[in-house]
Chains A and B, each alone.
Chain A
Amino acid sequence: MAEVINDIKRSENLVYAKTKVLTDNVMHYCPGCSHGVVHKVLAEVIDEMGIQEVTLGVAPVGCAVLIYNYIDIDWQEAAHGRAPALATAMKRLRPDRYVFTYQGDGDLAAIGTAETIHACNRGENIVIIFINNGIYGMTGGQMAPTTLEGMKTATCPYGREPSHDGNPLKITELLAQLPGTAYVTRQSVHTAAAVRKTKKAIRKAFEKQKENKGTSVVEIVSTCNSGWKLTPVEANKWMEENMFPFYPLGDMKDE
């Protein structure tokens, strides 16, 4: 059997391989979580553009805090919400480098709202990758700024009630209004087709940076099946039925 497999594993038969920009470290993410897929396509884009040696990433606080264990580039780990401030200085001091942030909804749209809006408004020439799963995953499933109305979390156990908890925030629509943003899009990674689209979007965002166009924001509506207390398959279905109507997919701005 091993002989047969080795015979098949010849380079001319190779149709797919893990990008070298992704490390061999085992990811800590829950099975079914979207982070792993987004990491993979992000690493593939860096590989395919040949920019591994000239790309600097900024990691968030949240489940992706350890992203630097998985993508083989130079990284800085930011304080909660401050990634766009780091990226602002990094890009201004090293305009010859690609700089991106990778942030969750609590990081980007709650504690880091000011840093996000002002980096985008200044048109910092950076890429922001925004994972929106409507919940705080790492701290154990509390309400996020993007938690849907009626959605149950550890800190809105009876469902988000806007009169008490406030409304879900469509921050990406807000960022698209700012003159500093060049490309703003919302994607997902729940199907093979969606993964391909997300990869294309991330590639486009980095191309915009190459062209000095300003800030690009790629939101990826994601699943947190552990936080949502659903199986991975149920989580994908729930996301399609509940998240997509409120957070519709597609490009919001492309200049």
Chain B
Amino acid sequence: MSELRLMKGNEAIAEAAIRCGADGYFGYPITPQSEVMETLMALKPWETTGMVVLQAESEVAAINMLYGGAGCGKRVMTSSSSPGISLMQEGISYLAGAELPCLVVNVVRGGPGLGTIQPSQSDYFQSVKGGGHGDYKLIVLAPSSVQEMADFVELAFDLAFKYRNPAMILADGMIGQMMEKVELKPQKKRWTNEEIEKMHPWATTGKKNSRERNIITSVELDSEKHEQANIRIQKKYKELQEKEVRYEAIDTEDAEYLLVAYGSSARISLAAKELLRKKGHKVGLLRPITLFPFPTKQIRELAEGLKGILSVEMSAGQMVEDVRLAVEGKIKVEHFGRMGGVVPTPEEVADALEQKLIGGQ
């Protein structure tokens, strides 16, 4: 049965994980996302669905536990916040290299360094451009509501397994901490070991006499073969770019100006759009839901009828680079953002658009 609840974004992640039939969670406490593991530990899913929940000794250990679990064909996940995600980058690179599916939730806080525990979006580059070593990408989903925090858990697992690639939910401290109404889906069954063997013949499930041994690895010392492995991975990213772009477009039909924003910034930008419309400006909003693959084509097409775009992010300006790449210099693209955990108001965003694009009326 579906169920309506009022809950925090972080709690919704935990509830949704159990309900979609996840097999394991491995994590390490860090603000502002500790409620994910706290909720799981309180719910004790190992007594109901059989889901394993373990507090690891570090983020480094946690991400490598994901590698071990994913290698067995299990649906495993972790959650952390910016400094913890930095620690996981080595492991994420290995997961991508070994083509292992898993879910990493990043409830972003302000950096650099220990930074602040307040919300930020300054991990965009780290999330969509790789983050660890080597040529790889993550499938990155950006929720802008507690409902999407819940819904994207299963979506992330589905995409991760479809493409055998790690997926990330890139949230921020605001989405993680705020409470909203959520519709939780009914409980699904976890995959059985027999189902895993059939669905994921690559997984290390125990070498049957009837097959060759399975090896989960990212090492290939022959450079020609290793290039082929890289080409195979790049093909997946191309396919993702073609098939899996998700976005929301609001009031873009008649728009002369466009706000591009994801996550919390999209919520604020939606209110800013209303303010600007009331003042008579034709403003629309494009909210990327997938940050990789990025809605490059959609923004390019929209740009044809626009006078300018404002990219709104709680960062010094990271996604704005991808927006600029999308419009190929045809129109003006500006950035507005606050840093260090400061959340902008809709008025600030509206003012920024007027000043930077319309001309400061």
Contact = CB atoms under 8 A, between A and B. Distances in A.
Contact of A87 (B24, B56, B58, B68): B68
B74 interface: yes
B209 interface: yes
Interface in B176-223: 193, 204-209, 213-219
A79 B71 contact: no
Contacts of A77: 98, 215-219
B111 interface: no
A118 B218 contact: no
A238 interface: no
Interface stretch (A35-43, A66-74, A149-157, A164-172): A66-74
A155 B57 CA distance: 30
A76 interface: yes
Given A53-B206, A114-B60, A92 B52 contact: yes
A230 to B, nearest CB: 27
Contacts of B64: 78-79, 82, 85-86, 115
Given A78-B64, A88-B65, A114 B54 contact: no
Given A53-B206, A76-B67, A79-B91, A88 B215 contact: no
B207 A93 contact: no
A210 interface: no
Contacts of B67: 76, 78-79, 82, 85-86, 89
Contacts of B205: 74, 94, 97
Contacts of A93: 23-24, 52, 68-69, 72, 74, 76
B71 A114 contact: no
A94 B207 contact: no
B354 interface: no
A53 B94 CA distance: 26
B217 A68 contact: yes
Contact of A85 (B23, B56, B76, B206): B56
B57 A115 contact: yes
Nearest to B68: A86
Contact of A68 (B26, B65, B208, B215): B215
Contacts of B218: 77
B65 A85 contact: yes
Given A56-B206, A114-B58, A92 B24 contact: yes
Contacts of A89: 24, 26, 52, 54, 65-69, 72, 74, 76
Nearest to A52: B207
A27 interface: no
A86 B213 contact: no
A142 interface: no
B84 to A, nearest CB: 15
A115 B193 CA distance: 27
Which of A68, A86, A93 has the most chain B CB within a 10 Å cutoff? Answer: A93
A54 interface: yes
A90 B68 contact: yes
Nearest to B62: A85
Nearest to B74: A93
B61 interface: yes
Contacts of B23: 93
A65 interface: yes
B90 interface: yes
Contacts of A79: 64, 67, 90-91, 94
- With most chain B CB atoms within 10 A of its CB, the pick from A65, A88, A89, A92 is A89
Contacts of B24: 89, 92-93
Contacts of B71: 76, 86, 90
Contacts of A72: 207, 213
A135 interface: no
A56 B72 contact: yes
A55 interface: yes
A23 B90 CA distance: 31
A74 B216 CA distance: 8
A74 B204 contact: yes
Contacts of B214: 74-75
A58 interface: yes
Interface of B: 23-24, 26, 52, 54, 56-58, 60-62, 64-69, 71-72, 74, 76, 90-91, 94, 98, 193, 204-209, 213-219
30 contacts: A53-B207, A56-B72, A56-B204, A59-B217, A68-B215, A68-B217, A74-B207, A75-B213, A75-B215, A77-B215, A78-B64, A78-B67, A79-B91, A85-B61, A85-B64, A86-B68, A87-B68, A88-B61, A88-B65, A88-B68, A89-B67, A89-B72, A90-B69, A90-B72, A93-B69, A93-B72, A94-B205, A96-B193, A114-B60, A115-B61
Given A75-B213, A93-B68, A93-B74, 18 more contacts: A52-B207, A53-B208, A56-B72, A56-B206, A68-B217, A74-B205, A75-B204, A77-B215, A77-B216, A82-B60, A86-B64, A86-B65, A89-B26, A89-B76, A93-B23, A93-B69, A114-B58, A115-B57
Interface of A: 52-56, 58-59, 65-66, 68, 72-79, 82, 85-90, 92-94, 96-97, 114-115, 118
